[in-house]
Amino acid sequence: MKIYVATTFENKEKLLEIHKKIKEMGHEIAYDWTTHKPIKPYDKNKDLAIQYSSKDIEGVDNCDIFILISNEKISPGMHTEFGAAIFSNMKYGKPLIYVVGEHTSNSIFYFHPSVKIVDSVDEVISEIGVNKEQI
């Protein structure tokens, strides 16, 4: 399965560990945005902002599972990706959407019917299991 994980840019190191677990289970990362370099202010880096935002949404569009790692700090970028995942789920029945972590009351949309709130990424990984096609 293709999995997209959204979180704040500052949470990138933790995300690399999560990506490693996902790959060890035989799944694929739909798009790895951890390779992005910091580009704020966006208006001074328009070309990269166009490229990054396009690739991020493309990754959400192509994923089977969308995981949002909740944070105390709300990130417009990860919530835009989250909104795209909800829309895609409503329209096409995928991706499966999970919100993970301690801050699961930061947005009304975390309670959308297409979203499942869980305590940890390990819980998501356990639920989706090993990709049998790659064994």
pLDDT tens-digit map of 57-74: 999 999 999 999 999 888
Q: Given CA atoms 50, 38, 3, 116 in this order, what sign does their dihedral have? A: negative
In terms of DSSP bridges, do strands 65-69 and 28-29 run parallel, antiparallel, or are they unpaired? Answer: unpaired
pLDDT, tens only, 6-38:
999 999 999 999 999 999 989 999 999 999 999
**1-14 pLDDT tens trace:** 999 999 999 999 99
- 29 closest CA partner among 37, 19, 21, 14: 19
Domain 2-134 adopts which CATH fold?
Rossmann fold (3.40.50)
**In this model, does residue 115 exceed pLDDT 70?**
yes
Q: Which of 5, 36, 42, 6 is nearest to 21 (CA)?
A: 5
- Mean pLDDT for 95-108 is 94
Distances (CA, A) of 131 to 2, 33, 98: 10, 22, 18
Q: Helical H runs in the chain? A: 12-24, 46-61, 76-92, 121-128
Q: Break the chain into its structural domains and give their ranges.
A: 2-134
Given pLDDT bands bounded at 50, 70 and 90, which one contains residue 128? confident
Q: Which one has a higher pLDDT value, 104 or 131?
A: 104
